[in-house]
Structure formats: structure tokens, C-alpha cells
Amino acid sequence: METTLNSSQKNLHALYNPGHIVIVGFSRDESKEPAIFLRELLNQGYKGKISLLGRERGQFQGCEMYDSAAALPEGIDLAFNMVAAGKTLDILPQVAARGVPAAVIFTSGFAEMDPSGADLQRKLVEACNANGMRVVGPNCPGYFYLPNGINLTGIPDIPQGPIGLISQSGNVGITLWDQAKTIDIGFSAFVGVGNQADIPIHDHIEYLGQDDNTKVIALYLEGLPDGHGPRFVSVCRDVSRRKPIVALKGGRTVGGMRAAQSHTAAMSSASKVYSALFKDCGVIEVAHLEHLLPIAEVLYRCPPMKGRRVAIVGSGGGHSTVSTDEVELAGLTVPEFNSELQAEYGKRLPSYAPKRNPVDMTGGFTKDPTRFAQMTELVLAHDPNFDGFINYGLYGFYRNGKPPADAVHTYESAGPVIGHVQARSGLPVIFYTPYAYRRDPAYSALRNAGIPCYPNIHLAALGLAALYERNQLLTKAADTDAKVDGPAETSANPALHGTGITEATAVAYLSGFGIRFPKLELCQTGDEAAVAAKRIGFPVVLKAVLPGVMHKSDVGGVAVGLSSSAAVSEAATTMTGHVTAALGAGRQDGFLVSEDLGKRRELFVGVRKDSLMGAIGLVGFGGVYAEAVNDTAICLLPATPARVAACLERLQSKSMWTEFRGEPAVAPAKIAALLNALDRALAADRLTAIECNPVMIVGGDLIAVDAAIETTEVA
């Protein structure tokens, strides 16, 4: 661990490296949790001092027992609180007053329960902080730091290794500790952050980022405290350049968000916000709990993958086909081998064996398990343009897992030979075999040689994709992409009044921030609209002014392509009839007439206030079908060209925003400038969201054709 620690990190140093621990709420009853936790702490081999605070004095298993906080000795580094929630407020601040710098509150019954629990939690943290104590939790499932022999989870036999796990769920931790045994990996640290009432998840990331015993950080995250998003991004951006971070976001669906809120009192933001946040700061996101630890393992065992080109080498026609599908679905490519390599395979394999990529050795490995390494070495020698490998086949247990008696290698001794391919070439190799999760020396040998192996082809492909993502981060220049300012603002911005802000009001307000709109005029009658249309120039668009209505086209309030004054007058009459039928009389407040820009590519560009990040941007497919298509990506603010380019790349419609049918590519810098202008406009009181939809792409310019502003209600 590096020696330069800020004040918060010094408290965490007491958590991960305590020389003296006190268990608060201890009872001699060995069937109860305090005694169980003490037993596992002793079994883990903790060498420091342990004190026990309960209702009586004496000794228990060599540890001194105290009946009051005032009687505790000095020099305690960590308090592990197991007292009921109501009593914790009375006892733990007294422990803090003894100079204890850190506490883990195992107890539940705080903000995850109800408002009264939230109030109790706030008072507890304030009282502990006032005495110099920082708090993990409450509602924390425990923690361990195995290099120092600390295990305060109550769970025995947790495998030690290079993964630091930070989780908002104890059950997730238990699941992964068990899974670790099937893939020969282990943990340096675990902390259950619980409600994050004091120490947020990113402080632990920062600390483990400096910990020499932690090589990869794995996160299970349900939510961050309000306003902590920017700090999370800053910490992860720094740490992810030094060691990989892998995350699973819980609460990605409406039902999942409800469960996450009741479980940890952390209000989950939309999954797109967290995905954008992870992408921006170099955190590799997984979608399934079963993938979190294996992807962390891949990032520990394998080198980053420098490109997308994958060679698939193994035995089995069906497996080769499915492997190809999974690799390409993961965003990688499976190019055909060059003729030289195919000829080399032709010298060694039957004429009927596929040799173009994937290559299928049709069972030759049963006599010599190192055939996987030999066939992979041929790629390196004769077609060295590949970036990574999947080996596949019935490795290990096919035909009882026993090569012939005269074979030079067993499956176990072949593992290091395959590992040498990865070590020598610097290119990752991941193995698929359906038997990989059986506890067998053959698979341990592969993993110990640096080769992850899985009984799931999809997971093997995702592993290579994660290695490619890791390389993209490591080769990207750090923090060189400057914010792009929006257009120049005018000297005055009109005030916004009321809750039913019309499009005309929104356009006038946003124009003051330099945002471009077509020529338009506000009119009270159809006749006025016809005259205005002539001034603007045909064709025009006619819109009903409808305070409080976000989507005018849904009620017949939009007409496009009007090419004469008569057409405008007729459209106005028809439009008023449709609006009255849909909304009732008196809802329409005139007409907007605007220049018709014709058929163009249409973007959705907007901003909204967000409890996590302060404000976020949205970019995506625009127009009347924007909601139905739902193809948008979150852009963190302030927007930069790189952030916008990453957003466009995540869209299903991404090819539309490149050079398209003779039109130029959309410039990320111009979208960034528009987002930043909208962000400045959003800063006004009561504004919650601003939407420009569509924003038309005219040549190289962005012109907002419609605008809507949402506000909070005012009593």
C-alpha cells in the first residue's frame, strides 16, 4: 500500500489494516452471530488484538470483555458493531469517543427500512463523525481483508487471491465466494458497503486501487448516494488505468429498482446513466451476476487484446459454429485465415477438416492434448494478424479424460504448454470446454498457466471483448478531450413563467443561449398564419400552440410541407378542429409558422437534471418515432467530442450519423456544443428537462426544429 493517504483514506487504512478490533454487542452465546464472527476471525489467523464489548466483564477465547465503552482500552482501530439499531446510536458514538477511527455497522434497521430509520441513520453518522469515526454501512453484511487474516463475515473457507470485491449485497458476495472455487480464483478483500451513509463505494475503490494485494476490483452496485456521480467517475477514471474494474449494476429494470431501494436505501438511476458512467471512467460492465467474477478472472489472467480479430482453434463442428456466432455477437470479428495458414493446416489435418477460421482438428487432441497449442502456434507463425484466440473442444473429460498410455502429455501437463502460447505471444487465449467447472487438475493447470476456461461459449467471447475494451482504455490518451463551449449567448434571456411553457416560449428562451432554430413566427389566427407563411417563404410547417402538451402531433397539431397561403389557412382550420376534439375547447393558444427544412436526418438532443450526476445529456434517433424506437444514449456533462462520439457508437442507428448517402458525418463537436448550451439553459430554477426533437442535420449544421421544456410544479 502506498503511504500517501488523504484523511478519508487514513480511516480506511484502519479498516483494512487494524491492529486492534473491538466487536460491539458481544455475547458469550456461541450460537449467536457475535460469537460466530469472532470464531471465524480467529480461524482466519488474525494476529492483532481483539476486544469484546457487551454486558459483562471477563475473558472469552483469550479476548478481553468489557461492559462499557468508557472501559475500553486506547489504541483500537476498528469497531465492528452488532448492536440493534435503536441501541447503536447510544453506544457507537461512545466507542468513537475512545479514539476509534473506523466502524463497520453490521446492523440493519436504518434508512433501508423507513423514514424514521433514515433519521436514526443520519443522527448516528453525525455523532460518530463528530468524534472522528468514519462508518461503513449501516446494513452491512461484513468485510474481510484476507492478507491480514481478517474475516468478519461469519463465512468460513473463503479462497484468497487477487480480486477485491465491493458489494451492496452480502448474498452476492457469498455467491461469488462459492463460484470462485470452481475457477481457481480468490479474493484479497471484500466490503459490503450497505447504505453508504458515510463512506461511499468509490472511497473503497480508491483505497483498493493502491493495494498491492488487489489486482482487479469487482463491484456489485445498486446505487450511489445523490450527487456522488462525479466523484465516482473521477476515482474510477484514475484507478482503472492502474488496474481493471468490473461492475454489475443491480436495479436495471423497474422491478429491480424497487427491490434495490428497499434493500439498500439507494435510489437506482436509469441503467443507461450507469452504463454511460461506467464507459466514461473505464469500468467494464457485465449484465449477469454469473459473469462478474469470470470477467474479473479474465482481466487478471490474460493480457489486454489489441484488436478485434479472433482466431478460433479447436475440435468440434457445432462448437466451432457457435463460437463464431458468439464472438461476432460480442462485437469482435472472425476473419478468414490467409492461404498460407490454410495450406499449413492442410498438411496436418484431414481433407474434410474446416481450415478457414474456425479450424476444426476433428478429434486429434485425444492422443495429444497439446494439439490445441500446436494448432494455435501455426496462426502465430503463418498469419500473425490476429489479436486473440478461443480454443474449444471436449478437453479434459472426453473418453474418461485419459490419453493413451504412450502419450507424452496428459491434460494436466498440457495446460502449461497452452499457457506458454499466451505468455510468449502476448495475445490472450480463452478455453471453452463443457467440463470446465468440474474440479479437476486439468482445468486448474490451465488456469494456473494463465488460461481461463469456461463451460459457456458466450462467456468466453465476452471475456475477449472485455480484454479488447481494456486495451481501448489503456491506449486512449487520458483527459485530453476538452469541453466544447456552446454557441455564444445573447445579452438577455427571456424569463420562463408558469408550468405550461409553450414551444414558442421555449424557442425564445433557448435562442438566447445561441441555439439555432428555423425562421418562425407566432400567430393568433389562421389568417395571420397564412400571411406569416408568405413572409417566411414556402414551404412551411404549421403547429398549434398547446401549453402543457409535449407531443402536438398526437392530437393533430402539426402540418408539414404547406406550399401556399391557402394551404396554410385550410390546415389551420382543420388543425383547430382536431385539437378541440382531442383536448376540448380553449386549449389552443394560436399557431406557430416555421420554415420547412424538408426531409433530413433527425437527432434527439436533450438534457435533464439527475440526482446522481447533477445533469446528464441524451443523444439519439429523433423525430416523431423517437419514443417508439427508443434509441438514445446518455452523454455525461460537460460534453466533449469524445464523449459524444462514444454515445453515437452505442446507438443502434450509429451508421446514420456517419457519412450517409452523400451527406457528411455529424460532427461530435457540434453535438457537444449543443448539449453544453442546453446544460447552461437547464440551470434556471424549476427547469427539470429540455428536449430538442428533432434536431435536423442541414449540411454540417444542427438546427433544432422543435423544443420542449419541463418544469417542477409551483404551488
Among 138, 155, 172, give the residue marking a domain's end: 155
The mean per-residue pLDDT over the stretch 116-127 comes to: 97
Instruction: Judge if 579 and 656 occupy the same domain.
Output: no
Q: Are residues 252 and 379 in the same domain?
A: no
Q: Which of 408-412, 485-489, 709-713 has the highest mean pLDDT?
A: 408-412
CATH number at residue 125: 3.40.50.720
What pLDDT does residue 252 have? 67
Say whether pLDDT at 74 is over 90: yes
Q: What is the CATH number of the domain that holds 703?
A: 3.30.470.20
C-alpha cell recorded at residue 273 = 446513466
pLDDT at 255: 57
Mean pLDDT of 80-103: 97
Question: What is the model's pLDDT at position 364?
Answer: 80
Closest CA to 222 of 254, 175, 256: 256
Using one digit for the tens of pLDDT, what is the confidence trace for 325-381?
A: 999 999 999 999 999 999 999 999 999 999 999 999 988 888 899 999 999 999 999
Residue 505 lies in a domain: no
| 134, 135, 154 from 7: Cα distances, Å | 10, 14, 30
d(CA 670, CA 16): 47
Shared domain check, 380 and 397: yes
Average pLDDT across the chain, whole number: 92
Same domain, 141 and 212: no
Please, what is the Cα angle at 700 between 694 and 706, to 5 degrees?
20
Helix (H, G, I), strand (E, B) or coil at 96: helix
pLDDT in tens, 309-333: 999 999 999 999 999 999 999 999 9
Q: What is the CATH number of the domain that holds 243?
A: 3.40.50.261
How far is CA 115 from each of CA 259, 261, 265, 269, 442, rounded to the nearest angstrom?
17, 13, 10, 20, 54
Residue 406 pLDDT = 83
What's the rounded Cα separation, in Å, for the pair 536 and 152? 74
Assigned domain for 8 exists:
yes
Are residue 655 and residue 541 in the same domain, yes or no? no
The reply to whether 114 falls in a domain is: yes
pLDDT, tens digit, for every residue of 187-226?
999 999 999 999 999 999 999 999 999 999 999 999 898 8
Same domain as 218, residue 124: no
Per residue in 596-614, pLDDT tens?
Answer: 999 999 999 999 999 899 9
Domain count, the chain: 5
CATH of the domain at 581: 3.30.1490.20
Residues 689 and 671 placed together within one structural domain of the fold? yes
Band of residue 668 on the pLDDT scale cut at 50, 70, 90: very high
Q: In what order do the strands lie in the sheet with 520-523?
A: 520-523, 591-595, 540-544, 558-562
Q: Is residue 495 part of a domain?
A: no
In a domain, 540, yes or no: yes
> 489-541, pLDDT tens digit by residue?
655 556 666 556 888 899 999 999 999 999 999 999 999 999 999 999 999 99
Residue 662 per-residue DSSP state:
T
- Judged by average pLDDT, the poorest of 50-59, 196-205, 286-295, 544-553 is 544-553
460 part of a folded domain: yes
Pairing of strands 63-66, 49-54: parallel
Residue pair 539/561 in contact (Cβ under 8 Å)? The answer is: yes
Residue 262 pLDDT greater than 50, yes or no = no
Q: Which domain, by its residues, includes 230?
A: 159-258+269-301
- pLDDT tens digits along 423-460: 999 999 999 999 999 999 999 999 999 999 999 999 99
